[in-house]
Chain A
Amino acid sequence: MDQSAATTRTSGAQVRLRKLSKTYGTTAAVDDISLDVPAGVFVSLLGPSGSGKTTTLNLIAGFLTPDSGDILIDDRSVAEVPPHRRNIGMVFQSYSLFPHMTVADNVGFPLRMRSKLTRDEARKRIAEMLALVQLSHLEKRYPRQLSGGQQQRVAMARALVSRPRLLLMDEPLGALDRKLREQMQAEIRHIHRSVGTTVVYVTHDQSEALTMSDVVVVMHRARIAQIGTPRQLYEAPASAFVADFLGDSNLLPGTIAAVDGSGYAVKIGNGVFVHAAQSQLKFSAGERAYIFIRPEDMTVQPARSAQGDGPQSLAGDVTELSYHGDVFWLSVAVGQGLLKVKVAREQGGAFETGRPVRVSWSPNAARLLPLADDDLRAGERARS
């Protein structure tokens, strides 16, 4: 790691949200949110629009006052602290660089407002930051002369220059095109590792959250749906909402016929019985539930004849075949619904729309998810 990175390392703040709520009229924008973020962690607030993630961020920043609950940064409540004294750095989706100031002045702004550095020390710090984001050569330019990606990097430098222990990011890459976004994601990760501050990152893009975060908080309708590492969330979602929001999923509704040590026998439409493996979520016989299988855990073969549907396979016709460069996606209409399956590019030629195929999966690939109106009740299941 280069010298500049070593000198800019900060320690991160521990952030705690306690039963935070914010209501507008009769709608709750944030409903009883509690969260513990350890120091130095990169946590993403992930969810569809309206889920409350941006409101939560604005509450942490102090732009909004909670109706109830508390926010603690480093174990001290910040409820009474106005935003300009919380010592936080923030990056906005529209960059929000001051148009009448140069890049260097933009980056140096927090220093002028907050700290007691001398002119020379400030200049050194600004130079450090610009080196960190690799924009040293642009310090005399104005924001309007920079590209989107460059502006975003200046915004990051500005947010980090006063070495805040907490960095907030509000969908900062939303305005960039895909290639640039992926590049910036890697850069942000790199900067986070160099600097060490705690990051709270808001996004609606699940692949972005999975790539960048240590911890992901999935939010849905003003509440937390599930918290975990990217792997935990992807491989062990606790609800149909989380399963479907992160990555692609196949969800088949059914009723549980029997439970034993190896798993569940589930009756799905057409009277077919399918096997689902045990997981941390517990179900009992007679309950309704979803069979959940990821497309990449399924294999598909052209069917020779109408063989029976077994505990780990279903037969149906291909309704759609689409080419995505690296893979083919197939939609297969089985009696119980539509399944999405992937096949590698070389194998795509074996399939045609309208032809029968058989989709199969390994015994552990199918799991159960709660089938309920409010998918967030899932949290209670984990304890039984």
Chain B
Amino acid sequence: MSAAAARIGLGAAVTVILAYLIFPVVVVLAISFSSGNFLSFPPPGFSLRWYQAIAGDPEWVSALFVTLKVGSLAALLATLLGVPAAFALVRYVIPAKALLSALILCALVTPPVVTAISTYLFFVPLGLVNTIVGLACAHAVSGMPFVVINTAASLRSADRNLERAAIIHGAPPLWAIIRITLPIVSPGIIIGAILAFVHSAHELLIATFLLGGVGKPVAVKIWSGVQATSDPTIAAASAILIGLAILTFASVAAAQSLARRRSA
């Protein structure tokens, strides 16, 4: 096979795969703007009625607020706990570092259903069920790996000598870290925090157990909606989450270009 033919073949395969990837997203977006009642694609016409329906529905609005509160709190906790951990892992020689890394990351590979059940059983006697704080605490655990990994990556590529230059010329070490290193590392931290937030917004099973009743977040509401109704309100809610994803992606990209400018 000639090199050119191979290239074309690869290009064709990639195009098909990318279409496979993105098409469903396009579908949901399209339906959310549908003027029709049924979940048909392509939609019969353009309309904003489903978004209006959501905006006018107090249950949806409160669900959105719950998601925002839980996600922000979870991201904040994950950041406060994860950033120092990343510093420790990157800057110091620690015994059993592999084990510690595994511990921090194990929330990522544990099946969500297992985490959901165990957390629920644990929270019941503690009275943390049906609270925003409770869910945020649980989501902080799964958000932490994102913060730690991204902060560590940023830290590794930062020039350590800048911090040393400040210290040797009189800056107390803590000052040097906060004023010199942290700004350089902040894009990584921000990316991690955003990922933690998004992860929390999407999480279903833990949320079902811990906050599945009155004050449920958007993910739980969508899930119950998907199994019940068949009108495009669900699509609109989904589209809002997609919009969130795109917004997230844009901020991450902005943060990355900020990182590039800072280290130039």
Question: Interface of A with B (CB < 8 Å)?
Answer: 61-63, 82-86, 88-90, 92-94, 96-100, 109-110, 112-114, 144, 155, 158-159, 162, 168
* Partner-binding segment picked from B54-62, B74-82, B159-167: B159-167
Q: Who on chain B is nearest to A109 by CB?
A: B169
Q: Is B9 an interface residue (CB 8 A)?
A: no
**Once the chains bind, are A84 and B171 in contact (CB under 8 Å)?**
yes
**Once the chains bind, are B180 and A88 in contact (CB under 8 Å)?**
no
B173 contacts which chain A residues (CB < 8 A)? 82-84
19 interchain pairs, CB-CB under 8 A? A63-B167, A82-B173, A83-B173, A86-B168, A90-B164, A92-B161, A93-B161, A94-B159, A96-B165, A98-B180, A99-B262, A100-B262, A109-B166, A113-B171, A114-B170, A155-B165, A159-B169, A162-B169, A168-B168
A100 contacts which chain B residues (CB < 8 A)? 183, 262
Instruction: Scan residues 71-106 of chain B and give those whose CB is less than 8 A from a CB of chain A.
Output: none
B162 contacts which chain A residues (CB < 8 A)? 96, 98
Given A94-B161, A96-B161, verify A113-B170 contact (CB < 8 Å).
Answer: yes
Q: A109-B169, A113-B169 are in contact. List 9 more A-B contacts (CB 8 A).
A: A62-B168, A84-B172, A89-B168, A89-B169, A92-B164, A96-B165, A98-B166, A113-B170, A114-B170
**Chain B binding surface, main DSSP class:** helix
Q: B168 is contacted by which of A84, A93, A94 (Cβ under 8 Å)?
A: A84
**Once the chains bind, are A96 and B159 in contact (CB under 8 Å)?**
yes
Q: Is B109 an interface residue (CB 8 A)?
A: no
Compute how far the CA of A86 lies from the CA of B172 in the bound complex, rounded to whole angstroms. Answer: 11
A162 contacts which chain B residues (CB < 8 A)? 169-170
Q: Who on chain A is nearest to B172 by CB?
A: A84
Q: Is B228 an interface residue (CB 8 A)?
A: no
**Once the chains bind, are A83 and B168 in contact (CB under 8 Å)?**
yes
Compute how far the CA of A93 lies from the CA of B164 in the bound complex, rounded to whole angstroms. Answer: 12
**Once the chains bind, are A84 and B164 in contact (CB under 8 Å)?**
no
A-B CB proximity, top 9 nearest = A113-B170, A114-B170, A96-B165, A110-B169, A96-B161, A90-B168, A92-B161, A84-B167, A113-B171
Q: Is B264 an interface residue (CB 8 A)?
A: yes
Compute how far the CA of A94 lies from the CA of B264 in the bound complex, rounded to whole angstroms. Answer: 13
Compute how far the CA of A7 lies from the CA of B173 in the bound complex, rounded to whole angstroms. Answer: 31
**Once the chains bind, are B164 and A158 in contact (CB under 8 Å)?**
no
Interface residues on B, range: 10 to 19
**Once the chains bind, are A92 and B264 in contact (CB under 8 Å)?**
no
Q: Who on chain B is nearest to A159 by CB?
A: B169
B169 contacts which chain A residues (CB < 8 A)? 84, 89-90, 109-110, 113-114, 158-159, 162
A155 contacts which chain B residues (CB < 8 A)? 165
**Once the chains bind, are A96 and B171 in contact (CB under 8 Å)?**
no
Instruction: Scan residues 150-206 of chain B and give those whose CB is less than 8 A from a CB of chain A.
Output: 159, 161-162, 164-173, 176, 180, 183
A317 to chain B, nearest CB (A): 49
Compute how far the CA of A99 lies from the CA of B166 in the bound complex, rounded to whole angstroms. Answer: 12
Compute how far the CA of A352 lies from the CA of B221 in the bound complex, rounded to whole angstroms. Answer: 90
B171 contacts which chain A residues (CB < 8 A)? 84, 109, 113
Q: Who on chain A is nearest to B171 by CB?
A: A113
A84 contacts which chain B residues (CB < 8 A)? 167-173, 176
A220 to chain B, nearest CB (A): 25
B263 contacts which chain A residues (CB < 8 A)? 99
Compute how far the CA of A96 lies from the CA of B170 in the bound complex, rounded to whole angstroms. Answer: 15
**Once the chains bind, are B262 and A88 in contact (CB under 8 Å)?**
no
Compute how far the CA of A159 lies from the CA of B180 in the bound complex, rounded to whole angstroms. Answer: 17
